[in-house]
Structure 1
Amino acid sequence: MKELNKKMYHFLGKNLWLWITLLACMVTYFVLSIQVMDNDGWFILSNGRYILEHGIPYENPFTWVEGLDVVLQQWAYSVVVYSIYQWFKVPGIFLFCCLLHITCMMLFCKIAKLKQVDTKTALVLSSVMLLIGSNFLSIRPTFITVLLLLWQVCVLEQYRKDGKAWKLWQLVLISFLEINFHAAIWPFHFVMLLPYLVPPIKNFFVKFKPKDYSIKPFLIVIPLMAAVGFLNPYGIDGIKYVFLSYGKELKDAGIVELAAPSFQDSGLVFVLLLAVILWWIALHREEKIDAPFFYILCGTAIMGTMHLRNLIYAYVGILLFLCEMVRQNKLTIKNMIYGNLVFATFLGSIAFTWIGISGKVMDYKQDDDVYSPVKAIAYLDEHEEKDVNVFTEFNNGAYFEWNGYKCFVDPRPELYFKKLNHKADVFQEYQELIQTTEPEKIDAFFDNYPCDYACVSKNSSLNLYLSMQEDWEPVVDSEEYVLYQEK
């Protein structure tokens, strides 16, 4: 028995890399089980269902405001996700997101191998870093983009190693996939090419290895990448989407993803990771490193300081640079003295995670809240046809779309900018309505956009106004919102 315990102790310690990797993955999937569906999820599912039933729309079919042009910049992703949902419901979407996560880890391991980092270390690094960025892992197409970016880096590193230019054709395929799966991020692939194109710049802080590959093949590949960008249903509008989807209106809307990272959120982890890397660079100034990963780190770090939604790309930049740090120091994972404790923690985490996943995913039930007003939909289903006009806020509009009702606005506020819909700044009018306390402006709004119902947050000034009007009757009074009917 003593000998068996000794062997088990040695096995657990020797395979610490495995326990860390599995533990990080289990916690990541637990986080995913909590947030696999969000307000954007209903919008994505509605897009996919509509496209499969009616084809690609060019006029917004989800709002009762008529004549608004639309660009569904993630149309292909929506079709894939809805197709999965048709067959497997929320558990299928959960599994799909898990597979995206695993594929990203596999791609990073391939990159790490090209950088002479062993697979065990690569698995630990990727599982932990993706755990830190797990709040971005949901039904949204963000991890598709992460996968495509890692694929692009893998292709570039492979070309650097063997010099086989024909492999760069994959960059054209990646460009085609991105423009149809997540067009808003398509230009970023060209930005991620720059570190491989510019020569290493001499500086005081780091020493770079000389560039040992030709950039001539890129003179053919890059124009092809740009050309396939037009192979999307919306042509130039799909390419310009990212440049048309920003505006003062988004900032005024208080969208969390557009806020700068702070010490109250994962921005603290971001700052700590950068501090560790800067400390390492300071200690290893005399050692030469590869320029591309350093440039990627710098560029994505700048992005990460700007908006919360860019943090996932900053984590990718950090993850790639960790290859350089690990390779330089030739780190290995040693036996852990408390291997048995790690194993016990691992088993407990599996049990805890399974309980959480089974409760949140396997037996999925949508809660009634301001983002998903279940009770409001139940009332409308019982008392109305699907052709009623419902005033919606942008956070709950997608849930009405998913249930067959036309909304006023939904979680893609940029679709309600005049520069994108070519008719009116509907979202600006919506923002003015939400922020005003003047009855005359509210009355003028509903005269311009007459509707049968209004679903508003309880803590809004609009709710206070409607509650005092004889023309509006509350028919659903939930904990976070109220559904009003116009008499």
Structure 2
Amino acid sequence: MPKMKEMRHTVDEKSQNEKEHIMDCLESPKRLSPFLAEILFCTVWFILQGIKGMVDTDVFYIISTGNYILSHGIPHTNPFVTTPGMPIVVQNWAYCAMIAWARKSFGTAGLLILTVIMIAGVYLVVRSLVAKTVTDPWVRLICTVILTNMFGYLNLRPEILTFLLIILELYGIEKYRQTNKRVYLGMIPVTMLAEVNFHASYWIMHLVVLLPCLVKFPYKRVTQTCMTGKMRRTLIFAAILSMPVLLVNPYGLENVTYVFDAVASGALKLMKISELLPFALNDLTYVLPILGSVLLFFYGLEHSGQRTEQGKILTLTSTAVWMWGGFLILVISKAKWYPFFMLGTLYLFKDTGSAIEDAMKKLWSRIRLDWATKLVLAICMAVLVVGLGKESVKPLRMIFTNQSLTDVYFARYADDTMLEDWRAVRQTVTEDPDSDICCLPPEYNQFFEYEGFQVYIDMRPELYISKKGEGSRSILENMVSLYNMRRNLTDTNLSFPLLMQKEKKNEKESQKPEKDGDFLSAKEYEALVRDIPAHYFLLANADRGGILGLFLEEHDGEYKKSYEGKNMILYKRR
């Protein structure tokens, strides 16, 4: 009898618990599943970012180069510019061919899908590393999104492929550390071989990321995780043996030295490229994440060895410190390294993520939002989504109707009048057998290069710095002078004859030569324009009123206006 009563009591308890559980489910509002929220958010984010990333300005010369490789083979002289015989090293030839093949096989929509897949690849790699430290699904989602967004190159540039190759190499090294099986070191030559053909300018990074595995960090609170003894010697030996694979490419040693030749050329001193400059203190894109990671580093340094509220021991490792610190130094020197600063921050997060999870949970538990606040936040989110969606509806429609990628660019980044001007200019040039062109601003040249026209210069500045002979000016120097000649533009009622007149007056007053080679005299500028081997000149936006516009307008006997729109003017040499 006592047993029967005990069993009845147990059944009554279970029944009561089930009733309470059902009542709780009915009374409490249903919350969105973290997994479902992640799927919905990432789908929208990847598509919007994919539309933006597939029309990155570099994509146009990547595809035009790839089209040429698929049709004619790998070029050694530049077939895209009006100056014949210019040497060229396509350091990312395999990547160009891959993207061009995707565009040719699957159309513009295929490019969008490929971009989304590449962005998703970065996200999943980051998510898998974050998940090793963070257990709460909402915290994991927030941290993964922030770290992925820090990559900076979520587009069709080859930096994503470089990131994935480096992750693959680091995976092999970590497996070697854990198992002591040398077969995993085969990842080093494999990834370096892929890198030197798909994105040769970054091959050096495959050696840089080995250093944190070899060097101790001289601080007692940091756990030393670098390799020692035989494992370190084996890793160094494997890296040295991997070096010959760098020569397995169509350009040989030139492809290996490409990045050093580009820096030594001096081209970057003439043409300022933002990603190759030190990061600016007023640019919050860089400053806030860098400052946040610095605070995270010092927190980890101070609390290393202590137990978090989850019971985990916070352990800051020497590998993470060197990986993060090394990329911090690189990104301060050149913004170009910012994507790999995310990799260093990811290593730092792997060691300190549990502390971040504790802090975010504690902060979230203190936040109490009333219904009015929730309504306001919901309205703001709806406005944001509608705004982003409206911005992307037209480009998305053009993508899936397989319209030209250049049209998608102007639909995404400009208004309808800009797109109308672009189409009219393109049609005018297409109908003329003499269709070579020189554009200001210079980046417009690659739009015409993508459309199959020859241009005065494409956006690979290091290719144009070499001089043909002593005392001659390079193509890049000419382009900079064409773009930057602004010395007398502060005069009222400015005209090119006035510049010529002022120049004659200046010659009488002073015989001192021009010190700044980027800024020519009016006479030199006139000679420069006449020597440019191009039949068409396109002036867009602010450049319509620049010195080239004045010259072409005043010399209407030599140059006729073929098209004039709200944003662009097209001139043709008579």
TM-score normalised by structure 2 residue count: 0.74
Of 444, 456, 466 in structure 2, the residue corresponding to residue 408 of structure 1 is 456
Residue 219 of structure 2: aligned partner: 203
Question: What corresponds to 1:458 in structure 2?
Answer: 544
Q: How does 1:179-198 map to 2 (within 5 A)?
A: 179-198=196-215
Q: How many residues align?
A: 477
Structure 2 partner of 1:444: 527
Query: For the pair shown, which has the larger CA radius of gyration, 1 or 2?
Result: 2
Contact 2:331–2:337 (CA<8 Å) still a contact in 1?
yes
Deviates more, 1:318-327 or 1:217-226: 217-226
Q: Deviations over 1:326-378 (max 9, x none)?
A: 15677598587779969979995877766655533342343287999443221
**Bigger shift: residues 255-264 or 56-65:** 255-264
Code of the residue aligned with 2:394 in structure 1: it is G
Matched, 1:56 2:82: no
The secondary structure found in structure 1 opposite 2:204 is helix
Q: Does 1:92 align with 2:110?
A: yes
TM-score by length of 1: 0.86
- SS for the counterpart of 1:202 is coil
User: Residue 308 in 1 paired to residue 326 in 2?
Assistant: no
Deviation, 1:155, is: 2.1
Report SS of the residue matched to 1:92.
helix
The one-character-per-residue Cα deviations of 1:372-405 (angstroms, maximum 9, x if unpaired) are 94432211112x12x5432234301111111121
Q: Counterpart in 2 of 1:391? A: 438
CA distance in 1, matches of 2:180, 2:370: 44
Aligned partners of 1:292, 1:420: CA distance in 2, in Å? 48
Give SS of 1:405's match: coil
Find the partner of 2:396 among 361, 365, 375: 361
Compute the displacement of 1:169 (Å).
0.6
The letter of the residue matching 1:208 is: T
Moved more, 221-230 or 290-299: 221-230
Aligned partners of 1:249 and 1:431 also within 8 Å: no
2:287 maps to 1:268: yes
Which amino acid in the other structure matches residue 546 of structure 2?
S
Letter in 1 for 2:529: F
- From the superposition, tell whether residues 424 and 251 of structure 1 become closer, same or farther in structure 2 (CA, over 3 Å): closer
Distance 1:210 1:170 in 2: 20
One-letter identity of the residue aligned with 1:414: E
Alignment partners' CA distance in 2, 1:41 and 1:97: 11
Q: Is the alpha carbon distance of 1:441 and 1:270 closer, same or farther for their aligned partners in structure 2, counting shifts above 3 Å? A: farther
Q: Secondary structure at the match of 1:484?
A: strand
What is the identity percentage for the equivalent residue pairs of Structure 1 and Structure 2? 20
SS at match of 2:74: coil
After superposing the two structures, state which structure 1 stretch, 255-264 or 362-371, moved more.
362-371
Contact 2:212 2:319 in 1 (8 A): yes
Shift of the 329–481 alpha-carbon distance from structure 1 to 2, 3 Å rule, reads: closer
| 2: CA distance, partners of 1:256 / 1:196 | 32
Structure 1 spans left out of the alignment, 5+ residues: none
State the shift of 1:226 in Å. Answer: 1.4
- After TM superposition, give the deviation of residue 433 of structure 1 in Å: 2.8
Shift of 1:77: 0.9
User: Per the alignment, do residues 151 and 355 of structure 1 end up closer, same or farther by CA in structure 2, a change over 3 Å counting?
Assistant: farther
Give me the whole-angstrom Cα distance separating, in 1, the residues matched to 2:468 and 2:318.
38
- For the residues of structure 2 that align with 1:124 and 1:188, how far apart are their CA atoms? 28
Structure 1 segment 242-391 matched on structure 2, within 5 A: 242-246=259-263, 247-262=265-280, 263-285=282-304, 288-327=315-354, 331=358, 357-364=392-399, 365-366=407-408, 367=410, 373-382=422-431, 384-385=432-433, 387-391=434-438
Shift of the 272–51 alpha-carbon distance from structure 1 to 2, 3 Å rule, reads same
1:157 to 174, 191, 199: 174
Mapped partners of 2:350, 2:43: distance in 1: 20
Q: What is the alpha-carbon distance in structure 2 between the residues aligned to residue 119 and residue 151 of structure 1?
A: 27
User: Residue type matched to 1:51 in 2?
Assistant: I
CA spacing shift, 1:137–1:462, aligned 2, 3 Å: same
Paired with 1:223 and 1:194, the residues of 2 have a C-alpha distance of 13
1:240 lines up with 2:240 in the alignment: no
Aligned to 2:121: 103
Task: For residues 315-334 of structure 1, give each alpha carbon's deviation from its aligned partner in whole angstroms, at most 9, with x where no partner exists.
Answer: 22112211111156775985
Instruction: Summarize the Cα distance change of 1:460–1:88 in structure 2 as closer, same or farther, 3 Å threshold.
Output: farther
Tell which deviates more after alignment, 255-264 or 402-411. Answer: 255-264
Alpha-carbon distance in 2 for matches of 1:35, 1:116: 30
Distance 2:278 2:94 in 1: 30
Unaligned runs of 5+ in 2: 1-21, 307-314, 400-406, 487-520
Once structures 1 and 2 are overlaid, which stretch shifts more, 226-235 or 152-161? 152-161
Query: Could you tell me how far apart the structure 1 residues matched to 2:56 and 2:356 are?
Result: 42
- For residues 15-30 of structure 1, what are the structure 2 equivalents within 5 Å? 15-16=33-34, 19=37, 23=41, 26-30=44-48
Deviates more, 1:264-273 or 1:178-187: 264-273
Q: Return closer, same or farther for 1:224/1:266 CA change in 2, 3 Å cut-off.
A: same
Matched-pair contact (CA < 8 Å) for 1:21–1:123: no
Q: Given the superposition, is the C-alpha separation of residues 140 and 330 from structure 1 closer, same or farther in structure 2, using an over 3 Å criterion?
A: closer
Does the 8 Å contact 1:207/1:285 carry over to 2?
yes
Please tell me the residue identity of whatever aligns with 1:209. Q
Contact 1:39 1:395 in 2 (8 A): yes
Deviation at residue 75 of structure 1 after TM alignment: 1.0
201 and 20 in structure 1: CA distance in 2 versus 1, 3 angstrom threshold: same
Asked if 1 retains the 8 angstrom alpha-carbon contact of 2:217 and 2:322, the reply is: no
